[in-house]
Amino acid sequence: MTQPSLLASLDRRLFLRQLSAGAIGLICVSARRDSVLAADESRLLVHSKAPMNAEPLLPDLVRSWVTPVESFFIRSHGNTPEIKADSFRLSIEGLVESPLSLSLSELGRFEQHGVTATLTCAGNRRSEHSRVKPVKGVQWREGAIGNAKWRGARLSDLLKKAGVRESAKHVWFEGLDAVEDGGKTFAFGGSIPLEKALLDRDTMPGALLATTMNDQPLTADHGFPVRMVVPGYVGARSVKWLSKIVVSDRPSPNHFVADVYKLIDEGTLLEVAENGPIYRMPLNSAICTPTAGAALKPGRIEVAGYALPPGVPGVSIRKVEVSADSGRSWTEAKLNSAAADFCWQLWSAEVAVNSATKELIVRAIDSRGEIQPETVRWNAKGYLFNAWHHVAVN
């Protein structure tokens, strides 16, 4: 099915669903959310239901290179909005020659591109920061990460059509959700440098307006009907329920760019003002099986997990190493998928354990020779935790 006809059928299916839900459009959303929730009960660790924040159990996460939607983490700052596909419009404005307002079918007429890219939350592994000193926010374990196939129009093609003015430097995104924070209600927003938006390489777009995830229309929780996917950047820049794109000469003033997704020590206003937004995802790796507390029999055991290259174009995972003796010796893991930009690799290793084994450790090394750090500096918002991953075993 070509993408325009997929969008047309998506429009039709949603329209029929809305008809059957009658005038109470909300029924439509809660029915879809319930179906996600039904899967959550058994497959996801649900941190909160309204807004929905959930992550898969680690052994599920590494069953396949492409993460099934049911096992994909959900990170939402506000409740999942109800969006009617037939009246949906996306605007492109700001420093452009011709502002655009596009329906879903008009968006479907742009050349459609597919990409497989890993999405990870800047707060993945926050609970490990909290072990050093408590950090507020969702206490993510190692599962706020997933690898999916996305398809849609390239942001660069929309920008070319609108004609970007010379003074432009950043592209802002705004969602249709209503986030409540500090007594105010506002939409979630993100922004990326214009250069990244235009950095299309072979099969890797700088940024994509995805309408499908793993060949299916986006689910409500993952941003139906359109979301940004910014390969290589932390998930916060991949704005869901996208409704507005603004081309500007500066980063977005949205709370989630100006104040929230920043690396700061203690969280003072001065630090927030002095530090720029986080963009790239860091080199990372984690053990997904065995899980913490597992009782192991002495002998050879299989250890498996993921390794994430940093969000630097052309940099991949060179090596993953596992230690069963607190880092005195390391076993090289087998990488079970080909290296691809901005995509995780799943790995497995056979290591010998004995009665003295107290923990398993993993670390990744990238193609530049950079080693995942042994420890990381605590930060007030608990972002970018990428120290060697330790799993205590019995």
Residues at the site binding ligand MTE, with contacts judged by CB under 6 A: 72-77, 119, 121, 175, 177, 188, 222-223, 235-236, 238-241
C-alpha torsion sign, points 48, 221, 156, 343: positive
Query: What is the Cα Rg of the chain in Å?
Result: 21
The H or E element that residue 41 is part of is helix 25-43
CB of 384 to ligand MTE, least distance (A): 12
Which CB, 74 or 349, lies closer to ligand MTE?
A: 74
CB of 177 to ligand MTE, least distance (A): 5
Which CB, 235 or 382, lies closer to ligand MTE?
A: 235
Q: Concatenated DSSP letters for 203-242? A: TB-SSEEEEEETTEEPPGGGTTT-EEE-TTB-GGGS-SSE
Which one, of 44, 201, 49, lies nearest residue 113 by Cα? 201
Give the span between the Cα atoms of 382 and 3, in whole angstroms.
Answer: 39
**CB of 113 closer than 8 Å to CB of 152:** yes
Which CB, 223 or 305, lies closer to ligand MTE?
A: 223
CB of 137 to ligand MTE, least distance (A): 10
Convert 37-48 to b/e letters by CB count within 10 Å (16 or more is b): beebeeebeebe
CB of 387 to ligand MTE, least distance (A): 20
CB of 192 to ligand MTE, least distance (A): 13
CB of 238 to ligand MTE, least distance (A): 5
Which CB, 120 or 289, lies closer to ligand MTE?
A: 120
Which CB, 75 or 363, lies closer to ligand MTE?
A: 75
Which CB, 180 or 374, lies closer to ligand MTE?
A: 180
Give the span between the Cα atoms of 36 and 70, in whole angstroms.
Answer: 7
**Helix, strand or coil, per DSSP, at residue 194:** helix
CB of 261 to ligand MTE, least distance (A): 7
Which CB, 347 or 383, lies closer to ligand MTE?
A: 383
Tokens of 85: 């596909």
Tokens of 2: 């070509």
Convert 234-264 to b/e letters by CB count within 10 Å (16 or more is b): bbbbbbbbbbbbbbbeebbebbbbbbbbbbb
